[in-house]
Amino acid sequence: DVKVTQSSRYLVKRTGEKVFLECVQDMDHENMFWYRQDPGLGLRLIYFSYDVKMKEKGDIPEGYSVSREKKERFSLILESASTNQTSMYLCASSFRTTSGNTIYFGEGSWLTVV
């Protein structure tokens, strides 16, 4: 079975703090993704990566950065957390193929910024 692990499930951070969200996958997937999900707004792509040290902006990259130093690990960084970044964050991974990339999600990280 595909395993995407988000180490931090529930976090409470203060405004202005630097926040790291870590994600590890064990399926040797090339692609990794970070989404946030908010009521009424659905899933929105923040950043994705299709290879080590590669990153691409998604739909809402502002206020976020990412790091992919190893193939299995993809980190989301909030340089200075703000209250509007309170959300559920979902990491996902997939193979990189032309026949449709089934993506598999981690369990999610609930972040509250106070």
Q: Footprint of other proteins on this chain (CB under 8 A)?
A: 33, 40-43, 45, 48, 50, 58, 90, 96-108
- Cβ distance 79 to 59 under 8 Å? no
Using the minimum distance from each CB to other proteins, give the nearer residue, 69 or 100.
Answer: 100
| Shortest spacing between CB 43 and other proteins, in angstroms | 4
Residue 42, beta-bridge partner list: 38
| Shortest spacing between CB 44 and other proteins, in angstroms | 9
Vertex 86 angle, CA 82 and 109, to 5°: 125
| Shortest spacing between CB 102 and other proteins, in angstroms | 6
Q: Is 83 helix (H, G, I), strand (E, B) or coil?
A: helix
